[in-house]
Amino acid sequence: MAEIAASLPRVQEIAAWGGRPAWQVSRKVFCGNRSPRPDAVDENGVRMDDVVLIRTPDESDKLALVQAGGPFFTTPHFDGYNAVLVRASRLHEITRDELAEVITDAWCACAPKTVVAAWLEQRGASGG
Protein backbone atom coordinates (compact mmCIF):
# COMPACT_ATOMS: atom_id res chain seq x y z
CA MET A 1 0.00 0.00 0.00
CA ALA A 2 2.69 2.49 1.02
CA GLU A 3 4.64 1.93 -2.19
CA ILE A 4 1.57 2.47 -4.35
CA ALA A 5 0.46 5.62 -2.52
CA ALA A 6 3.93 7.15 -2.46
CA SER A 7 4.38 6.60 -6.21
CA LEU A 8 1.61 9.06 -7.07
CA PRO A 9 2.37 12.74 -7.80
CA ARG A 10 2.54 15.31 -4.99
CA VAL A 11 1.92 12.74 -2.28
CA GLN A 12 3.23 13.24 1.22
CA GLU A 13 3.39 10.62 3.93
CA ILE A 14 2.21 12.01 7.24
CA ALA A 15 1.65 10.76 10.76
CA ALA A 16 -2.12 10.70 11.11
CA TRP A 17 -4.40 8.74 13.41
CA GLY A 18 -2.43 7.85 16.52
CA GLY A 19 0.79 8.68 14.67
CA ARG A 20 0.18 5.97 12.09
CA PRO A 21 1.23 6.55 8.48
CA ALA A 22 -1.21 8.04 6.02
CA TRP A 23 -0.82 9.55 2.57
CA GLN A 24 -2.18 12.89 1.46
CA VAL A 25 -2.29 15.05 -1.62
CA SER A 26 -3.14 18.75 -1.37
CA ARG A 27 -3.63 18.31 2.39
CA LYS A 28 -6.33 15.67 1.83
CA VAL A 29 -5.74 12.18 3.18
CA PHE A 30 -6.64 9.59 0.57
CA CYS A 31 -5.48 6.47 2.43
CA GLY A 32 -3.97 5.62 5.75
CA ASN A 33 -3.73 3.35 8.74
CA ARG A 34 -6.34 4.05 11.40
CA SER A 35 -5.78 3.66 15.09
CA PRO A 36 -8.15 1.23 16.85
CA ARG A 37 -11.62 2.76 17.16
CA PRO A 38 -14.91 1.60 18.66
CA ASP A 39 -16.59 1.56 15.23
CA ALA A 40 -14.38 -1.27 13.90
CA VAL A 41 -14.39 -4.39 16.05
CA ASP A 42 -13.74 -8.04 15.29
CA GLU A 43 -16.10 -10.95 15.93
CA ASN A 44 -15.07 -10.93 19.62
CA GLY A 45 -15.81 -7.23 20.06
CA VAL A 46 -12.11 -6.30 20.17
CA ARG A 47 -11.08 -3.13 18.37
CA MET A 48 -9.22 -3.98 15.17
CA ASP A 49 -5.70 -2.59 15.19
CA ASP A 50 -4.92 -3.02 11.48
CA VAL A 51 -7.68 -1.04 9.75
CA VAL A 52 -6.79 0.90 6.62
CA LEU A 53 -8.98 3.72 5.29
CA ILE A 54 -9.13 4.34 1.54
CA ARG A 55 -11.16 7.18 0.06
CA THR A 56 -13.55 6.43 -2.80
CA PRO A 57 -14.56 8.81 -5.58
CA ASP A 58 -18.24 8.58 -4.67
CA GLU A 59 -20.90 6.59 -2.88
CA SER A 60 -21.47 4.20 -5.80
CA ASP A 61 -17.79 3.21 -5.84
CA LYS A 62 -17.90 2.73 -2.08
CA LEU A 63 -20.97 0.48 -2.32
CA ALA A 64 -19.48 -1.52 -5.19
CA LEU A 65 -16.35 -2.29 -3.15
CA VAL A 66 -18.27 -3.14 0.02
CA GLN A 67 -20.84 -5.31 -1.76
CA ALA A 68 -18.31 -7.20 -3.90
CA GLY A 69 -17.79 -9.84 -1.24
CA GLY A 70 -14.10 -9.03 -0.77
CA PRO A 71 -12.24 -7.62 2.21
CA PHE A 72 -13.64 -4.08 2.04
CA PHE A 73 -16.18 -2.94 4.62
CA THR A 74 -17.63 0.18 6.18
CA THR A 75 -19.15 1.15 9.51
CA PRO A 76 -21.98 3.50 10.48
CA HIS A 77 -19.28 6.05 11.43
CA PHE A 78 -18.62 6.40 7.67
CA ASP A 79 -22.25 6.82 6.59
CA GLY A 80 -22.24 9.73 4.15
CA TYR A 81 -18.43 9.70 3.81
CA ASN A 82 -16.84 8.31 0.67
CA ALA A 83 -14.34 5.83 2.07
CA VAL A 84 -13.97 2.12 2.62
CA LEU A 85 -12.11 0.21 5.28
CA VAL A 86 -10.04 -2.93 4.98
CA ARG A 87 -7.94 -4.85 7.46
CA ALA A 88 -4.27 -4.84 6.46
CA SER A 89 -4.23 -8.55 7.28
CA ARG A 90 -6.78 -9.12 4.49
CA LEU A 91 -5.10 -7.11 1.72
CA HIS A 92 -3.71 -10.38 0.32
CA GLU A 93 -7.28 -11.21 -0.76
CA ILE A 94 -7.02 -8.76 -3.64
CA THR A 95 -4.34 -8.48 -6.29
CA ARG A 96 -1.74 -5.74 -6.27
CA ASP A 97 -3.33 -4.34 -9.45
CA GLU A 98 -6.75 -4.18 -7.75
CA LEU A 99 -5.25 -2.45 -4.73
CA ALA A 100 -3.38 -0.03 -6.99
CA GLU A 101 -6.63 0.79 -8.79
CA VAL A 102 -8.49 1.52 -5.53
CA ILE A 103 -5.64 3.66 -4.16
CA THR A 104 -5.22 5.50 -7.48
CA ASP A 105 -8.96 6.21 -7.58
CA ALA A 106 -8.67 7.57 -4.02
CA TRP A 107 -5.78 9.81 -5.06
CA CYS A 108 -7.74 11.03 -8.11
CA ALA A 109 -10.66 11.95 -5.85
CA CYS A 110 -8.42 14.16 -3.68
CA ALA A 111 -5.76 15.57 -6.01
CA PRO A 112 -6.26 18.82 -7.95
CA LYS A 113 -8.06 18.07 -11.22
CA THR A 114 -5.25 19.66 -13.27
CA VAL A 115 -2.68 17.39 -11.60
CA VAL A 116 -4.85 14.32 -12.23
CA ALA A 117 -5.38 15.28 -15.88
CA ALA A 118 -1.66 15.84 -16.47
CA TRP A 119 -0.77 12.56 -14.77
CA LEU A 120 -3.37 10.60 -16.75
CA GLU A 121 -2.17 12.21 -19.99
CA GLN A 122 1.44 11.32 -19.19
CA ARG A 123 0.49 7.74 -18.42
CA GLY A 124 -1.44 7.49 -21.67
CA ALA A 125 1.50 8.85 -23.63
CA SER A 126 3.91 6.44 -21.99
CA GLY A 127 1.56 3.47 -22.31
CA GLY A 128 1.47 2.98 -18.52
Tens-digit pLDDT profile for residues 19-28: 999 999 999 9
Predicted structure pTM score: 0.91
Which DSSP string do the residues of the chain spell out, in sequence order?
A: -HHHHHTSTTEEEEE-GGG-EEEEETTEEEEEEPPP-TTSB-TTSPBPS-EEEEE-SSHHHHHHHHHTTSS-B--GGGTTS-EEEEEGGGGGGS-HHHHHHHHHHHHHHHS-HHHHHHHHHHHHHHT-
Number of independent structural domains in the chain = 1
Over pLDDT 70: what percentage of the chain? 97
Tens-digit pLDDT profile for residues 26-77: 999 999 999 999 999 988 999 999 999 999 999 999 999 999 989 999 999 9
What CATH number is associated with residue 13? 3.90.1150.30
56 is in which domain, residue-wise? 2-126
